[in-house]
Structure 1
């Protein structure tokens, strides 16, 4: 057994801060706005409503008030709005996460920043350093393009770092403002579904190395899985107007066909089975993805309750989603010492990230 399999030598997750932007719109309000927008193009509006209601989302929090989206006609305008809102939301969620852990920005050694909904150079964590007062020697790893998998992958990469620096503190900050990527001219089914499914939010996980004594589940191991020749399953086409969604109906099929073997192989390397896992922390990909997780892994009915609830309340927050579910799991009274958990997400590539937790 390699050292990664000893929980005592593993880094741990202290806290997860979560923040939603201040503007909320119910799904009915959003359907109304899209009806108005797409009616002029003679789009089949009944189909629009069916697709929006099928995603099981009751509403979304938005980076801007709903009436401020119409004037944003260029990629630059949307991206500028993304930078402003990301810095605000990012600052809020980092402060919250550090406060919960009893730490300050000066305690942070490394920030992993993940996003797939906007571009900024210098990146958002650098802009936050000026506002929050991180130390001058803090390290930065901005990760763009991992999409929904980045919440889990960011945790895994932070843990890789903390194995080398067991006294350090790392943040995984995810900021996703999906509403600012919407392509209003795109009447494709994937874009209609995306406009009904994805929401805005930010999350920040605080992780510490094995030599820092602190509460929270240990991250015993992680595994990345890459599925060859699946580039067109999920992602963006970068077009003149910004990010145009690529979203194939094959996503749930890929999950259903692969996740059981991937999870079983990963758990077997630690002498574990699915029945040993008490806590399943799954990315809220959408109703079909959550059903595929449940069916393929033969999970008990209540196993993904938090993921279903998060999907309904705030939509799919891309990389921040799995961290929202993780934060709620940490703060519930459910996990007991000795419990095992699996954090899992999937994203463009197409790929999966599995993270093994031990309380």
Structure 2
């Protein structure tokens, strides 16, 4: 089976308390009901602090799509290179030993893609296989681990890396008072993560302490395409966020989780490590309620949300990083899950 060797999260240096971000965004709106609503939304999402790609004073309506995307490329390349280098160093692998790099982002556009741009500066082989992913949104972290697993099942001697780089703050629509934009401005933070894995035939497989990937599953929910995604235009990327999402997650995604676990003779109560994308407190509450789990089951997701906000696809890597540092007992079962545009869920079963 696929073995995770190392996982790392990195962040831009500009970290602010939620209250500071709230007041900065409030200055872009005229005084009145919209400002009061913004403050209520920011207070409700249980985020304490976030890292931002730019100093706080550089955000505002003066930043057009071209400006923010150029800043995305510059910052994402720097963070992505650092995440890749630290993860390889943790595993004791040289850059030239990587056979596949899969990169994911949904917060900026890059052609050539990010992994192509960092290949030479990071020392990757010219013949390294590359798989850039775009459009999977917050689900891409879990989906990427599943795709790494598929690759390594067919090439067990390979080493493969997933790189997630999300600079959500650069998609901010400063003067948009829609509920979707206010929620996005309250929830999302910036960061990058990398996960390194090897196949069963790789020399480092047997000696690594990371979890094995047992199985993965993807699921689309027909008729829900309109609930989550981007509205992309000359203004940049504007959040589409349906109010029905917590109910959808609580009903259909919970059923999918139970079905996936049952296929491996497991129940939700058997999972020791819930590596759940922290889409927001209402999502986590709906999921724990539907699965009959205590709030503490998603404590790691709640801690990640409070400390750094919703990192889109990089969130599950940040949460897994925390579990790895805690050192789960041998035999522990983990479930990585993410949700994204489609509407879709991605599930990955792990075992230490």
User: In the alignment, what sits opposite 2:288?
Assistant: 294
Calculate the TM-score normalised by the size of structure 1. Answer: 0.94
Matched, 1:240 2:237: no
Structure 2 counterparts to residues 325-344 of structure 1, below 5 A: 325-333=319-327, 335-344=328-337
Distance in 2 (alpha carbons) for counterparts of 1:22 and 1:220: 36
Give deviations 1:90-109, integer Å, cap 9, x for gaps.
Answer: 01111111111111211111
Contact 2:28 2:175 in 1 (8 A): no
Matched, 1:45 2:38: no
User: In the alignment, what sits opposite 2:273?
Assistant: 279
Pairing partner for 1:12 from 3, 21, 44: 3
SS of alignment partner, residue 9 of structure 2: strand
Matched, 1:324 2:318: yes
Distance in 1 (alpha carbons) for counterparts of 2:63 and 2:246: 33
Pairing partner for 2:67 from 69, 72, 77: 77
Structure 2 counterparts to residues 1-359 of structure 1, below 5 A: 10-39=1-30, 42-70=32-60, 72-212=62-202, 213=205, 214-215=207-208, 216-333=210-327, 335-359=328-352
Distance in 1 (alpha carbons) for counterparts of 2:108 and 2:168: 9
Deviates more, 1:272-281 or 1:252-261: 272-281
Shift of residue 300 of structure 1?
Answer: 3.1
Shift of residue 149 of structure 1?
Answer: 0.3
- Provide closer, same or farther for how the CA distance between residues 231 and 82 of structure 1 changes in structure 2, counting only shifts above 3 A: same
Give deviations 1:184-241, integer Å, cap 9, x for gaps.
Answer: 2321011011101100010000011011223211101001111001111110011111
Shift of residue 275 of structure 1?
Answer: 2.5
User: In the alignment, what sits opposite 1:5?
Assistant: none
Calculate the TM-score normalised by the size of structure 2. Answer: 0.96
- RMSD over aligned Cα, in angstroms? 1.2
SS of alignment partner, residue 164 of structure 2: strand
Listed as ranges, the gaps of 5+ residues in structure 1 are: 1-9
Deviates more, 1:272-281 or 1:59-68: 272-281
Shift of residue 71 of structure 1?
Answer: 7.3
Contact 1:115 1:143 in 2 (8 A): yes
Shift of residue 43 of structure 1?
Answer: 5.0
Distance in 2 (alpha carbons) for counterparts of 1:312 and 1:57: 4
Instruction: Figure out how many residues of one structure are paired with residues of the other and give that number.
Output: 348
- Provide closer, same or farther for how the CA distance between residues 277 and 108 of structure 1 changes in structure 2, counting only shifts above 3 A: same
SS of alignment partner, residue 157 of structure 2: coil
Contact 2:61 2:174 in 1 (8 A): no
Listed as ranges, the gaps of 5+ residues in structure 2 are: none
Shift of residue 183 of structure 1?
Answer: 1.1
Deviates more, 1:323-332 or 1:62-71: 62-71
